[in-house]
Structure 1
Amino acid sequence: MKPCIVVLDFGGQYTHLIANRIRRLGVYSEILPPDIPKEQLAGVRGIILSGGPASVYGPQQPRYNPDIFSLGIPMLGICYGHQLLALHFGGQVRPGSRKEYGVAKLQTKSNQGIFKTLGGTKEVWMSHGDTVCKLPPGFILLGQTPDCPIAAMADLSRKIYGLQFHPEVTHTPCGMKILEAFVTECGCERTWTTEGYVELATKRIREQVGGRNVFLLVSGGVDSSVAFVLLNKALGPERVYGLLIDNGFMRKGEVAQVSQYLGRFGRLTVVDASEQFLDAVKGQTDPEEKRKTIGEIFIRIQNRTLSELDLDEDQWMLGQGTIYPDTIESGGTEQADRIKTHHNRVELVQELIAQGRVIEPLASLYKDEVREVGLHLGLPTDLLWRHPFPGPGLAVRTLCAEGKEYFPGWRKIEQKVDCIARGFHLEARLLPVRTVGVQGDSRTYANPVVLIGEADWATLEKVSTQITNNIPEVNRVVHLVTPARLCTLVVKRCCLTKNRLDLLRQADFVATEQLHKENLYRDIWQMPVILIPVSSDGEKESVVLRPVCSADAMTARFAEIPNQIVHRIAELIVKIRGIEAVFYDVTHKPPGTIEWE
């Protein structure tokens, strides 16, 4: 199928989300490399230039074909693409006076072109360091923010537009209006549907698999469940073999629940490998190392099971429920920076992919699209709306530490964040653990800040944004819920153990049960519950609640759960023996990823 609009991938974390949004407007869109020959774009009605982690002046600038700018069709540059358009057409770009991550207020300066239906001040989502400081000849200013004087520009005669912010993310409320206006300017017919995707995916599955069968690793989450049903629909249950591996990292009662449900759709075998997984990660504290080890053990158990079942490996393919965010955050597009390695993107899996022995029927979809496909296939909503859960499970929600998480300059950074917090009548301290984040399309691994004192959600959001925008050594902010104060914050050296996993399993169960009781479960995208080896005495542990609102996992806002419910959850959690404190994550994505590891 020929795309109507193509997205040229400069490595941004939201590149595929742009194509997703265009498809949701009923227009088929594909991702292509920026150095694609001009001839291969024949028949395309519009081009979008994505964001990316590089600088237009930097040595790592992605290669691109300048002939694309002479095609005479509408173009839209987003973030890095906005800067590239400005530079190509004679404008100027420079490092911004301060980096912008998160919400910004856009003041509309002209209601023309794709801004025709906009006006006044709009909330938009930023994630950039460089900024356009001079308009190219023939361009007009469409909008600006307090920290970005040229946040939107246009050459109306040639229908060329640049946006420093991200219209494709759900946290730019007017973003879909802007993209829809661009689709209209491109003159595209809106013929793309979920039904059409299922039909196309079924055809592709049969072509890719050929006469082979599929061996699918099932986690019980939304993605692998939909993949399992889609593969069964395309190939028939006699050609699909599901394997549910109990790695010891799953939630309370999850193995029994999943095996009972999915067993009705096809062949499903459960293997208890909890001891093998725990032995493999013994002594590991680095999150990347843990993810890679867990992914490799998954593949080894799969191979062992194939051998025990006496299946010919040449006649079987590995199936996975991989979706687009997994590939993007693992650096799976040509220009993308790796944020974290997903368990289904470790080296062993990459080798199988290179050999043509892996099938991933959902790899071009985001979570919202996966749910739509699941509904089309007849899966019940209670299964489809389960909160997303990482393949490595609680292993990446149980933080480990060397006990040496302090670094040179610690006190200086702590003074800076405390200075910002005191402007809001709060105290701020650095937490002696590190977490993964994403800032400016690149991976960060840094210490979070804890805010101490009473404040409403609006204040906490302001403090969090100021800290992460101005202190590059910090990528995440949490608020202390209970107790009211912690005199000291001591980290203890620890790794993954069954006792720690059981402790987190119980805390996760308590928190999730309360969400259901308060009818909040469906209102929240997911709520990771994280165990961190931090306490006042270095003996007990603490728990972080990370509830977020999102539609696609590419961006997210921390969820504003009513305060009395938060305290009720915290009070129940600290009753669990071994847990001293409960924190609440008040970081958006970016700069903090949804999962802490």
Structure 2
Amino acid sequence: MDTSTVVILDFGSQYTQLIARRIREFNVFSVVLPCTVSLEQVKALKPKGIILSGGPSSVYDADAPKADPAVLAMGLPVLGICYGLHFIVHHLGGKIESAPAREYGHAEVTVIAETPLFSGLPQVMNVWMSHGDEAKALPEGFVLTAQTSNAVAGIANEARKIWAVQFHPEVAHTKQGMELLKNFVIDICGASADWTPEHFIQSTVERVRAQVGDGHAICGLSGGVDSSVAAVLVAKAIGDKLTCIFVNNGVLRKDEFAKVQTTMREQLGLNVVAVDASERFLTKLAGVTDPETKRKVIGGEFISVFDDEAKKIFEAEKHDGKDVAWLVQGTLYPDVIESSSVHGPSHTIKSHHNVGGLPADMKLKLIEPLRDLFKDEVRRIGRDLGMPDDIIERQPFPGPGLAVRILGEVTAERVAILQEADQIVVDEIKRAGLYRKVWQSFAVLLPVKSVGVMGDQRTYANTCAIRAVESEDGMTADWAPLPYEVLRTISSRIVSEVRGINRVVYDITSKPPGTIEWE
């Protein structure tokens, strides 16, 4: 890569991806690697600097995450955060102990030594702490740069280009966190702010063109932001050698199958083949209630459909002797993080159909041009590609569709009920002018029935949950405090208009501890 890069080694922190996001806000490319990555793999990226993330473990745990200590001797600037500080102290001859009083939440830090990391920052800062261990003795050559009333808060060995802080500068609760990270990335590492949407588009187009060569590619279109941007980006690279396949998997939103075809052909000029495989998917989902199984069934069936369609395309174009070898998907960074523990010891949350749900014997090779991006970055790329706002600003929709918003078995009847309820949610959120202000807003069909009274008669029908959240990138989210009148209208319309639902509830769970989708 011909742009400045900062490598983040992940020790399992829930905030690691937030570090990457913050650095990208400086227009500097950042990449997250598992802490166990080899020194050669780190060097191959020619990074300007290394950041060691936080993590939930103690350096003395038997299964404590470990990086190659040689990363501390590369001569590159290193910044340790929380566990990263502990790793540095521990491996360079200092001492880490369990803290008598665990620091969690807001804390006041006092800067006690001049260092480029704290340049321009106030002497007293309000920061966010989350640690149970602390540094009791510093390695040789290190000095204390900041402290709280209880513990070490910052250390440095400028001769070795190593800095570390006990607090988390990447979270919004640390008021001067962005300035601190900028001091490290721009001033200490000397990284250039050259990672822009224009640069990303140019480099991606060149890479995809080289990947595909004389071959052909198909793209799994969903109609959402991610797959649409991926399709337009790849089409820019290979033109008519891309065929987009839009599959009706039986769990799309109301009227989605017809709407997406029109949008993709008329507004984006894409070559779209539409496949109604709804019966095929619903048959495979019959009797399935486990969320992970649902995702894997849908992922496997998607690939099977794509394989079938690729064969048809190949047969139609076999005169040129080229095979359809590539599958384009709109996979994003959060999909990757939640689907597998590739980034150090972080836990798998759930399998996304286009990541963890792919079958091992898949015949098509993957092109995932957005794999390193967050949702807001994808939207910026879409704008630079000239895509219309009504596509770019669409709320995220899960790859497995309504299947993961129907708790319990997925049947045609239950899909139809949820489609009607979900459409009402979307309509009323848009009518209230809130569609672009919330990250996602949708309905969930619960496997719970309750007694109700409608038209002076007893009912015993389904419960529908409404979910609306605010978020920057889907990695964390807060429930959205929708106006009561909006909630009242949604509830009244669903109960009145959707046969089969007699109770509506509102989900006020944040992520974490919940996830945005219910499954």
User: Which category of TM-score, normalised to the shorter sequence, fits these structures?
Assistant: 0.7 to 0.9
Residue 109 of structure 1 and its aligned partner are, at CA, apart by 2.5
Q: Tell me: CA distance 1:39–1:232, structure 2 relative to 1, closer, same or farther (3 Å).
A: closer
The aligned counterpart of 2:434 is: 520
* Percent of pairs with identical residues: 41
Q: Tell me: CA distance 1:550–1:152, structure 2 relative to 1, closer, same or farther (3 Å).
A: farther
Aligned residues: 492
Residue-by-residue CA offset, 1:352-404 (whole Å, 9 max, x unaligned): 4xx7711111111111111111011100112101000011011001111xxxx
Alignment of structure 1 residues 193-592 onto 2, 5 Å: 193-236=196-239, 238-264=240-266, 265-311=269-315, 314-331=323-340, 333-335=342-344, 336-346=346-356, 348-352=358-362, 357-400=365-408, 495-536=409-450, 539-575=460-496, 576-592=498-514
Match 1:85 to one of 64, 88, 95: 88
Residue-by-residue CA offset, 1:87-137 (whole Å, 9 max, x unaligned): 33524253897796xxx323233386544435766474x7x6744364635
The aligned counterpart of 1:594 is: 516
**Structure 2 gap segments, 5+ residues each:** 453-459
- CA contact under 8 A between 2:330 and 2:371: conserved in structure 1? yes
- Residue 443 of structure 2 aligns with an amino acid whose one-letter code is V
- Residue 194 of structure 1 aligns with an amino acid whose one-letter code is P
> For 1:574, what is the secondary structure of its paired residue?
helix
Residue 70 of structure 1 and its aligned partner are, at CA, apart by 2.9
Aligned partners of 1:258 and 1:511: how far apart in 2?
19
Residue 506 of structure 1 and its aligned partner are, at CA, apart by 1.6
> For 1:8, what is the secondary structure of its paired residue?
strand
- CA contact under 8 A between 1:79 and 1:163: conserved in structure 2? yes
Residue 22 of structure 1 and its aligned partner are, at CA, apart by 1.7
- Residue 65 of structure 1 aligns with an amino acid whose one-letter code is D
Residue 84 of structure 1 and its aligned partner are, at CA, apart by 2.2
Correspondence 1:46 to 2:49: yes
Aligned partners of 2:143 and 2:493: how far apart in 1?
58
Aligned partners of 1:11 and 1:317: how far apart in 2?
33
> For 2:184, what is the secondary structure of its paired residue?
helix
RMSD of the TM alignment (CA)?
A: 3.1
Aligned partners of 1:393 and 1:535: how far apart in 2?
23
Residue 68 of structure 1 and its aligned partner are, at CA, apart by 1.8
> For 1:533, what is the secondary structure of its paired residue?
strand
Bigger Rg, which one = 2
**Structure 1 gap segments, 5+ residues each:** 401-494
- CA contact under 8 A between 2:295 and 2:352: conserved in structure 1? yes
Deviates more, 1:52-61 or 1:199-208: 52-61
Deviates more, 1:543-552 or 1:322-331: 543-552
Aligned partners of 1:356 and 1:279: how far apart in 2?
24
Alignment of structure 1 residues 67-146 onto 2, 5 Å: 67-89=70-92, 90-94=94-98, 104-110=105-111, 113=115, 114-115=117-118, 116-118=120-122, 122=126, 124=128, 130-132=132-134, 134=136, 136=138, 138-140=142-144, 142=146
> For 1:545, what is the secondary structure of its paired residue?
strand
- CA contact under 8 A between 1:533 and 1:540: conserved in structure 2? no
The aligned counterpart of 1:451 is: none
Residue-by-residue CA offset, 1:307-348 (whole Å, 9 max, x unaligned): 344446944311111111111111162524211011012464
Residue-by-residue CA offset, 1:404-432 (whole Å, 9 max, x unaligned): xxxxxxxxxxxxxxxxxxxxxxxxxxxxx
- Residue 494 of structure 2 aligns with an amino acid whose one-letter code is I
Q: Tell me: CA distance 1:274–1:172, structure 2 relative to 1, closer, same or farther (3 Å).
A: farther
